Structure 1
Amino acid sequence: MKDKDFKNYYVDRDISWMYFNHRILKEAQKDNVPLLERLSFLGIYSNNLDEFFRVRMASLNRLLESADKSAKKEKEHLKSTIKTINKLNNIYSKEYTETTDDVFTQLEEHNIRLLNEEKLNDEQKQYIKDFYYDKLNGSTNPIWLENISEIGKLQDNRIYLIVKRTEKEDTFGKKPKTDYAIVKVPDSEFGRFIVLPPSDGYQNTIYLDDVIRFCLPLIFIGFKPSSFEAYSFKFTKDAEMEMDNDSDYGMLQLIAKGVNSRKRGEPVRIIYDKLMPKDMQKKIMARLNVEHLDAALPSGRYQNHKDLMKFPDFGHSELKFPKWKHVMKEEFLSKESILKQIREKDRFIHVPYHSFDAYIRVLREAALNPDVKEIKTTLYRLANDSKVVKALVCAARNGKKVTAVVELLARFDEKSNIKWSKRMQEEGINVIYGVEGLKVHSKLLYIGSKKGNIASIGTGNFHEGNAKVYTDYLMMTARKELVSEVDRVFDFINRPFSQPRFRELLVSPNSMKTKLLQLINTEIKNAKAGKEAWLKIKINHITERDMVEKLYEASQAGVRIDLLIRGNCSLVPGVPGISNNIRAVGIIDRYLEHSRIIIACNGGLPKYYIGSADWMPRNLLNRIEVYTPVYDLDMQRDLLRTVEYGLEDTCNGRLIDGKGNDMIQTIVDEKPFRSQEELYNAYL
């Protein structure tokens, strides 16, 4: 396909991301989703958007600034992308406000009410005053606006109030004095919602922002009697320059490396109360040093809606998803050694349907078993109270040689990773801090034992918190060819400039992309020969241009391609003559779809793979990632069921069209089918 034609059927990664996040917003609009879960989806949408602007939009703006005359085409493309994102953001923002208002209106029908500072009865007013003197006093410290050179130097992604204090006229008729101050809302200390005494049959709560508004006369006590106005705002800073080697901007990225880092940390987006008077807006914008006002977005009274994920439930369990118990598979409850069972047959778990404690049992037994001499693992994200690390510490104390590869650049989890790295080093564990220039994103465990070595290869992080929300597979095997290659991946991490060959595993950046293309080429060859040819792929993101183009080529050759894609999708499915054999379905439900599964027809002898890599430039070129073949028939059947259930989902499966419409697929005269619920019931 010519490059000019290809661009017409390639959706920019960041525009595709906006479509994905909009699918989350659509989930918050569904009447059949419990109300408090709808609030949670609204919180997820808001949190995602904050991270997107901190990282991706900041990167796009930096790249645009770095562009010179030699990158004219790239610059025009960037301008167009940024313009489209801002347009979509404005449209979605209005939709978001309407959805939020609708959910809170419906909550009142269930006697849950959100009050503001003007709707309090006497008991509630006294409750807030007591709360201020008992807890809040001392945590609300105004800073006079005139003393702030740049607000942007303050912490971003926090809620601030700009307060206008106007002294009341005295008896001498002097013009009242007016001044301005900034107050940070201390939600990290007290939470965003304060539960109030019930009234009129309602259970009540109030934003901490409004508690501060009510308490302004107490906060500014000691000054002359005054009236107050307070309006909220927040700003998002440029978090970092993300070098993902996206081919769209390859030339620009090279140029950007030489750009002075003066823009790092400057605001890239400001959200403010649309009722804020113009004079106050100007003061904020001036102090934020904002040059481009298209980064300023008027919004509702409240910011940081991510806090809706923690909205008090007042015991209304009927307004939330029913609890699903994590199932412990029978073999992991057996008194027989789990290591012995793995040597007899491959084992697997599919979290969060299955309990992650099954994996912890493997680690604990390895830590105690005298036959085990060595444990190696990759750790990309670590829970604050990591049972995984505790098991590794136990192993080290029992004389095992333990190696942990910790990725310190796992964004937003750096603090936890650093804490546990120090702890592991103190316990004598050999901690390796990744590979320079390559993120270690693979999910691997190697257990060296006298009775036979064992490996675990997964699609998601060894993180107990994630394992309760993210859908991921972990395969545990004693197959010598697989286990020995897992061990060689650890050797590669130690010596990243070596060129080891892998016959079984697909490893990036070595040969994964080449082997994936070969896999698709086999289907193309079979289709052209009149044989059965298809691909079933479950993945988070597909944006790598060569992979997109190869899938288009396969579609045109007659290969039937079914995709389950949660997030970014640069493909445009269903285009006659281009992608009419491609169907893409995106699922947003109570669990975050995260597992990566590839199933290829292979001439009637299907090949199965699971692994850690999405089909993005960063995964295929800039990270150490691993896919493993799956040979166990039971696991193959389970993987096929997971993918096919997702493709059949008529409750939460949206047909991705490359234009952002993404309507839920429907099948006439058939009972609604919700894939996650059906999988859960199948595992019981």
Structure 2
Amino acid sequence: MTYTNRELSLFEFHKRVLAQAKDPNHPILERLNFLIIFSRNLDEFFEIRVAGLMKQMDLNLITTAPDAIPNEVVIEKISELAHQAVEEQYQILNYTLLPQLQHYGIRFIQYADILEKHKAWIKEYFFSQVQPVVTPISLDPSHPFPRLANKSLNFIVTLSGKDAFGRQIELAIVPAPRSLPRVVRLPNELSGGQEHYILLSAIIQQHISDLFPGMTATGCYQFRVTRNADLTVAEDVDDLAVALKGELSSRRFGRAVRLEVAKNTPEKLHQYLLEQFDLDPQHLYCVDGPVNLTRFLANFDIAELRFKPYQPIIPKALRQTHQIFDVLSKRDFLLHHPFDSFAPVIQLLREAAKDPNVLAIKQTLYRSGPDSEIVQVLAEAARNGKEVTAIIELRARFDEESNISVANILQEAGAVVVYGIVGYKTHAKMILVVRREHDKLKRYVHLGTGNYHAGNAKMYTDYGLLTTDVDICEDVHKIFQELTGMGRMAKLKKLFHAPFTLHAQLMQLIEQEIEFAKAGKPTHIIIKVNALTEPLLIAALYKASQAGVKIDLIIRSICCLRPQVTGLSENIRVRSIVGRFLEHTRVYYFLHDGEAKLYCSSADWMGRNLFSRVETCFPIEDKKLRKQIIEQGLLNYLKDNVRAWELDQHDQWHPVQATENETPFIAQQYLMDERNIKPTA
């Protein structure tokens, strides 16, 4: 088989994240954090990927994926892998992480751990904080099984006795209030000043009978349902924002795709809940612990149990305030987040908002948030009389509601807000500032591989280019015109852009490497992206490998290409880096007969990015910056022998380990150390 199944490849990435929770070289609280990240990843995997497969099966649709594996077979394999991974997850939690945390005075008290000394405090907390907002729901002919929200924590309760109306009620549902914290810190007098926490689920279980006066709760069991959370909005809607608002509420009550229950839940209740959610037994997960681990992490202030804090570097030339336009006029700047600070990007906008010579600011926003400083600065610029245009992608998954709020803030400030192109998500990352200088207009541009989200810039690796290159600035201007107006495809000088030229240009660059190989010249392709799924590009890489082109792929998550297959891909090596920061840079390198063509982009090598989204791909032409990316952003990651995994021809990922003769090398750590020793100019 030439192609790997996309969903199964994505699940393998989630397993690599889970493996970080076992790594003794990570601080203990970071290992717990990786465990929770795995839970969040798994939630989204079921909400989107598994839900999509189940929807296709419900509609009797046949898969059109290149691997041609039937949907039912993929779901069965996912179920097998997910059950194994979830069991491993709770083993790590119960037998490794929680015992080690207790060694540091951090303890999570579950229902079975409640001691006599805890009961008075729990009782007071329950009646003052929990009971007033809990709504128990009896199950009887006049009270059918309730609609329970996606990923909400609930309890199914078995009862004996009669209620106030003399009814014999045997079952009830108790939804845990979503407004309450899932983890509550115990007072110092009960914990000896240590970090002791009790789970909300334990508090409710301890007093479950008090929710049913005159009756006795004979059993109380946690459960949680995961639902289809993908949104579908017709392309012919009159107002995208209004349509999305209507769809957002349905996300909470989509088709059920997974049921999690506490391990001690009786088999009879398993069957009852599966029937209520119309699920097969393969979608049932019995877990040995809390069913809602995504909200398990408390705010600890124990530095020794965390990664050593890292302070991003601001390039020396950009540290002076109120001079950014003068500095950018002289040369391009490259920012590699989170090793370099995101502050210069915000500073560019902040100065533009106040500078009387700035006439216009245009920006794309994919994920930012209404509390973002960038959004506030854009609003300030609009109020200051600047021509502010924001291209806001309302359909950024799980950020739809936030982006609607951003649009409202900017519109109220007087900015022009555009939702992009119907049928094409605007995923490009661009800022354009137009400034009057010496009676002429000059453009300043920022292009990035990641979102304009200051929080993400501290956790995700991304590149950003600040430039005044005339051709690049003109290209960006044309793309903004393309997004806000109507007309023919913009003819660009230096940028490639999807859905128009990017895919064809990539195919051509690969073909050129093939021609160089046939001519006996040295060749090398290095691609660093989050995912590789597009069949035509994969086929082109196979062809290049067979022609003798050396190919290194650094793929964070999904890889549908199979490397090291005899006669097909012997010259292709695939690796993945999973470490402290989430790898997010998109970089394309082609040796090109020694002339080294290098591009950064907002686009992964996926069909959706290349054909269904607005994306940008920009060249790095400055020799110094190009060398920096090649050495630090590519070759550096190919040397990692601690946080790297390599993919074999059988779709198996293996952790890379330093040999006896090798010095352990961590790419991300090197980039942090390199900047602390030798700050960027």
The verdict on a shared fold, with TM-score over 0.5 as the criterion, is yes
Aligned to 2:109: 115
**Structure 2 residue 381 is the aligned partner of structure 1 residue 392:** no
Structure 1 pair 73–376 and aligned structure 2 pair: CA distance change class (3 A): closer
Q: Which runs of 5+ in 1 are unaligned?
A: 1-7, 169-174, 244-260
Residues 70-105 of structure 1 deviation map (CA, whole Å, 9 limit, x = unaligned): 989998622222222112112212221211222112
For 1:470 and 1:140, the matched residues in 2 are separated by: 38
Deviation at 1:193, TM superposition (A): 4.4
Structure 1 pair 356–80 and aligned structure 2 pair: CA distance change class (3 A): same
For 2:252 and 2:456, the matched residues in 1 are separated by: 33
Deviation at 1:179, TM superposition (A): 2.0
Work out whether residues 46 and 306 of structure 1, in 8 Å CA contact, stay in contact via their aligned partners in 2.
Answer: yes
The number of residue pairs the alignment matches comes to 648
SS at match of 2:655: coil
SS at match of 1:450: strand
For 2:217 and 2:501, the matched residues in 1 are separated by: 68
Residues 374-405 of structure 1 deviation map (CA, whole Å, 9 limit, x = unaligned): 11110001134111111111211221111000
For 2:354 and 2:375, the matched residues in 1 are separated by: 14
Residues 467-486 of structure 1 deviation map (CA, whole Å, 9 limit, x = unaligned): 11111111011010000000
SS at match of 1:388: helix
Work out whether residues 588 and 653 of structure 1, in 8 Å CA contact, stay in contact via their aligned partners in 2.
Answer: yes
For 1:68 and 1:334, the matched residues in 2 are separated by: 59
Aligned to 2:672: 680
Structure 1 pair 395–670 and aligned structure 2 pair: CA distance change class (3 A): same
Deviation at 1:9, TM superposition (A): 2.3
Deviation at 1:316, TM superposition (A): 2.4
For 1:199 and 1:448, the matched residues in 2 are separated by: 59
**Structure 2 residue 98 is the aligned partner of structure 1 residue 104:** yes
Residues 261-305 of structure 1 deviation map (CA, whole Å, 9 limit, x = unaligned): 999812111111232112222322232233x33222222232121
Work out whether residues 332 and 361 of structure 1, in 8 Å CA contact, stay in contact via their aligned partners in 2.
Answer: no
Deviation at 1:594, TM superposition (A): 0.5
**Structure 2 residue 172 is the aligned partner of structure 1 residue 181:** yes
Aligned to 1:359: 345
For 1:16 and 1:210, the matched residues in 2 are separated by: 37
Work out whether residues 447 and 464 of structure 2, in 8 Å CA contact, stay in contact via their aligned partners in 1.
Answer: yes
Tell me the amino acid that sits aligned with residue 366 of structure 1.
Answer: A
Aligned to 1:87: 80
Work out which of the residue numbers 377, 381, 384 in structure 1 matches 2:363.
Answer: 377
Aligned to 2:422: 436
Tell me the amino acid that sits aligned with residue 259 of structure 2.
Answer: I
Work out whether residues 111 and 206 of structure 2, in 8 Å CA contact, stay in contact via their aligned partners in 1.
Answer: yes
Q: Which residues of 2 match residues 244-263 of structure 1 at below 5 A?
A: none
Aligned to 2:144: 149
The range that moved more, 87-96 or 512-521, is: 87-96
Deviation at 1:149, TM superposition (A): 3.2
Work out whether residues 555 and 579 of structure 1, in 8 Å CA contact, stay in contact via their aligned partners in 2.
Answer: yes
SS at match of 1:603: coil
Work out whether residues 124 and 196 of structure 1, in 8 Å CA contact, stay in contact via their aligned partners in 2.
Answer: no
Aligned to 1:333: 319
For 1:297 and 1:134, the matched residues in 2 are separated by: 33
SS at match of 1:96: helix
For 2:62 and 2:444, the matched residues in 1 are separated by: 56
Residues 428-477 of structure 1 deviation map (CA, whole Å, 9 limit, x = unaligned): 10000111000000000111112321111100010111111111111011
Aligned to 1:323: 309
For 1:106 and 1:473, the matched residues in 2 are separated by: 37
Work out whether residues 187 and 208 of structure 1, in 8 Å CA contact, stay in contact via their aligned partners in 2.
Answer: no
Work out whether residues 405 and 434 of structure 1, in 8 Å CA contact, stay in contact via their aligned partners in 2.
Answer: yes
Aligned to 2:274: 285
SS at match of 2:282: helix
Work out which of the residue numbers 123, 128, 131 in structure 1 matches 2:122.
Answer: 128
Q: Higher relative CO (CA 8 A, sep ≥ 6), structure 1 or 2?
A: 1
Q: Which runs of 5+ in 2 are unaligned?
A: 234-249, 677-681
Tell me the amino acid that sits aligned with residue 408 of structure 2.
Answer: K
For 2:594 and 2:380, the matched residues in 1 are separated by: 47
Work out whether residues 64 and 75 of structure 1, in 8 Å CA contact, stay in contact via their aligned partners in 2.
Answer: no
For 1:69 and 1:43, the matched residues in 2 are separated by: 34
Deviation at 1:502, TM superposition (A): 2.0
Aligned to 1:306: 294
**Structure 2 residue 204 is the aligned partner of structure 1 residue 212:** yes
TM-score by length of 2: 0.91
Aligned to 2:565: 575
Structure 1 pair 667–180 and aligned structure 2 pair: CA distance change class (3 A): same
Work out whether residues 231 and 301 of structure 1, in 8 Å CA contact, stay in contact via their aligned partners in 2.
Answer: no
For 2:337 and 2:554, the matched residues in 1 are separated by: 18
Work out whether residues 149 and 252 of structure 2, in 8 Å CA contact, stay in contact via their aligned partners in 1.
Answer: no
Residues 5-43 of structure 1 deviation map (CA, whole Å, 9 limit, x = unaligned): xxx021111110010100001111111111111111111
Aligned to 1:616: 606
Work out which of the residue numbers 33, 40, 44 in structure 2 matches 1:47.
Answer: 40
SS at match of 2:497: strand
For 1:578 and 1:16, the matched residues in 2 are separated by: 19
Work out whether residues 642 and 679 of structure 1, in 8 Å CA contact, stay in contact via their aligned partners in 2.
Answer: no
Q: Which residues of 2 match residues 402-481 of structure 1 at below 5 A?
A: 402-451=388-437, 452-481=442-471
